[in-house]
Amino acid sequence: MKNSKISAGLYKKNREKICSSAEKNSVIIVHSGYQYPRNADQFYKYRPHSDFYYLTGIEQEKSILVMCPGHPDEKYREILYILRPDEKMQIWEGYKLTREEASGISGINEINEIKWGNEFENDVDFLVKNKPPVYLNMPEKQNCEPVLSQDFNYSKILFEKHPLLRSIRLSTITTPNRLIKEYEELALIKKAVEVTGEAFKRVCRTTKPEMFEYEIEAEINYVFSKNGCGHAYLPIVASGANACVLHYITNREKCKKGDLVLLDFGAEFENYASDCSRTIPVSGKFTKRQKDCYNAVLRVFRKTVPLFVPGNTINKINQQVKQWLGEEMIGLGLFTSEDVKKQSSLAEASEDNIPENPLVTKYFMHGVSHFMGLDVHDPGSKDEPLKKGMVVTCEPGLYIKEEGIGIRIENNILVDEMPVDLMAGIPIGVEEVERMMGKSGD
Ligand SMILES: [Mn+2]
């Protein structure tokens, strides 16, 4: 059951934006998404599809939003379909929304426009009879199985019945709008950031040599749960060389004295993400080498934050960061400037397509930024000029597998003429982190 602190005004504004971006007389269909099966008779915790949530604020499975922005009959302009609660369902699964409650959360008029789910298919058959363009929400990420998507499954039913319909990907109108955050959304992201910061401070106070990675994760879990948050993604707690596995999530090894531990974790509050990475010494003190490597990444981080201004692009920033990290890598003795020259003349002479800057890519193999919002990796093109009100990450890293050192420093940045570091309050400097780790537990 939603414990909503967000006014329906946000979702109304969002629907207005999407409808004014849509083609005239189109029909927009957005499903809330399934509750996915886990194994046997168990399910994963339900989480609505971000586009559906963005438009309605509803967190109940088997809900559908249909919008016909230009329809002459007002009652078809927005319709929300929800499950019709029955007594058995309520006993076994718990409380389901009434039409009145769904109206209160979403701001969609209760009288004509909130209906029970069984009316959906007939209504759409009627709404598409003149062959309007139909917006459908298709999976946009390559690794997301379309077969698992409720929107995709429904599209097959729709095209079977109405084969000549012209469809348009919903993301063409949701992505550009979702990228720019309303102040209500920023407040939710800031709350997620605040809880993430609390969790990091607790981790600093409790981490000790010989602790298992999952014990550190437990400290994060405690702070998140205590504050009504979940994880925006599976947390990474990677000690020693595990930190060089970019998506290490098993979190089951012992943290050894003298090793670093890389944390990449973020609270999710009311479905809005935060995304933070910190790297701390297990024993509370960085060694000389670790400190040199850490400060190299931190210098690049600090130089990068001011680049998130309107008009710049993530891809251009990536190029700049690779150059800066390359210089730091030379300073750390990972290769020489002679090696770099040799590399570029080899690339010029070769007919093969040699990846750009393989020396740098060996030690820094991911991008420095992505969009963030309802999804930790919010959709959006990295060639898209940044605009005021976008939220992105800034996350340079350095991974020296042969030395068992993996470092990533990541904060969330609000794009503006003077970019705002939303995580400026979370300890980041070597001395600051060491001081925090010196403190005894709660
Ligand atoms: Mn990230």
For residue range 256-275, what is the model confidence (pLDDT) as tens digits? Answer: 999 999 999 999 999 999 99
Q: How far is the CA of 250 from the centre of ligand 1 (A)?
A: 18
CA distance 96 to 60: 8
Same domain, 267 and 333: yes
pLDDT score, position 112: 78
In this structure, is residue 165 part of a structural domain? yes
Q: Are residues 135 and 50 in the same domain?
A: yes
Please check whether residues 120 and 228 belong to one and the same domain. no
Cβ-contact 276, 303 below 8 angstroms: no
Q: Rounded to whole angstroms, how far apart are CA atoms 332 and 362?
A: 14
So what's the pLDDT on residue 441? 44
User: What pTM was estimated for this model as a whole?
Assistant: 0.94
Q: What is the Å distance from ligand 1's center to 408 Cα?
A: 10
Of 152, 179, 206, which marks where a domain is finished?
A: 179
Give residue 366 CA to ligand 1 midpoint distance, Å: 10
Residue 442 maps to a domain = no
Are residues 269 and 328 both part of a single domain?
yes
In the structure, ligand 1 is a single-atom ion and the residues with CB under 5 Å from it are: 275, 393
Averaged pLDDT score across all residues of the chain: 93
pLDDT band at 1 (very low <50, low <70, confident <90, very high): very low
pLDDT classification of 86: cutoffs 50, 70, 90: confident
- CATH code for position 384: 3.90.230.10
The confidence band for 306, taking pLDDT boundaries of 50, 70 and 90, is very high
Residue 246's pLDDT is 85
Asked if residue 193 and residue 77 are part of one domain, the reply reads no
pLDDT at position 213 is: 97
Per-residue model confidence (pLDDT) at position 95: 86
Give the tokens for residue 365.
């193999």
CA 155 to ligand 1 center in whole angstroms: 32
281 close to 290: Cβ distance less than 8 angstroms? yes
The amino acid at 293 = C
247: pLDDT confidence band, cut at 50, 70 and 90? confident
Greater confidence, 109 or 369?
Answer: 369
The residue segments making up the domain with residue 39 are 8-179
Would you say residue 143 has pLDDT above 80? no
Domain match, 172 and 192 both: no
Determine, yes or no, domain membership for 215: yes
Q: Decide if 397 is inside a domain.
A: yes
Residue 50 C-alpha to ligand 1 middle, in angstroms? 18
Whether 2 is covered by a domain: the verdict is: no
Q: Which of 158, 179, 200 is the last residue of a domain?
A: 179
DSSP H helices, 64-149, are 87-93, 99-106, 110-113, 120-127
Domain contains 236: yes
| Euclidean distance between CA atoms 390 and 189, whole angstroms | 12
Average pLDDT of span 234-260: 94
What's the pLDDT score for residue 4?
A: 57
Residues 210 and 166 in one domain: no
Residue 260 near residue 406 (C-beta atoms within 8 A): yes
Based on the domain organization, do 81 and 138 belong to the same domain? yes
pLDDT digits (tens, 9 = 90+) for 176-229: 999 999 999 999 999 999 999 999 999 999 999 999 999 999 999 999 999 999
Distance 13 CA to ligand 1 centre (A): 28
End-to-end CA separation in angstroms for the chain: 32
Domain count, the chain: 2
Going from the Cα of 233 to the center of ligand 1, the distance in angstroms, rounded, reads 10
Q: Cα(310) to centroid of ligand 1, in Å? A: 20
Amino acid of residue 260: L
* CA 225 to centroid of ligand 1, rounded, Å: 21
Residue 66 β-bridge partners: 29, 79
Residues 346-368: tens digit of each pLDDT: 777 666 655 667 899 999 999 99
- Tell me, in angstroms, the distance from the centre of ligand 1 to residue 208's CA: 26
Calculate mean pLDDT across residues 304-328: 97
Q: What is the pLDDT of residue 355?
A: 61
Q: How far is the CA of 392 from the centre of ligand 1 (A)?
A: 9
Last residue of a domain, one of 151, 179, 207: 179
Measured over the CA atoms of residue 50, residue 52, residue 54 and residue 58, the dihedral's sign is negative
Residue 361, domain member (yes or no): yes
CA distance 397 to 371: 17
pLDDT in tens, 41-81: 898 999 999 999 999 999 999 999 999 998 999 999 999 99
Residues 130 and 264 in one domain: no
Look at residue 286 in the predicted model and tell me its pLDDT.
Answer: 97
Domain for residue 130, yes or no? yes
- Residues 143, 262: one domain? no
Residues 417 and 430 in one domain: yes
DSSP string over 218-268: HHHHHHHHHTT-EESS--EEEEGGGGGSTT-----SBPPTT-EEEEEE-EE
Residues 204, 130 share a domain = no
Give the rounded distance of the alpha carbon of 83 from its chain centre. 28
pLDDT tens, residue by residue, 11-49: 999 999 999 999 999 999 999 998 888 899 898 999 999
Q: Looking at residue 76, which CATH number applies to its domain?
A: 3.40.350.10
Q: Following DSSP, what letter does each residue of 3-51 receive, concatenated?
A: ---S-HHHHHHHHHHHHHHSPTT-EEEEE--PPPEEETTEEPPP---HH
For residue 442, pLDDT beyond 60? no
Q: In sequence order, what are the residues at sequence separation of 6 or more whose Cβ sits closer than 8 angstroms to the Cβ of residue 225? A: none
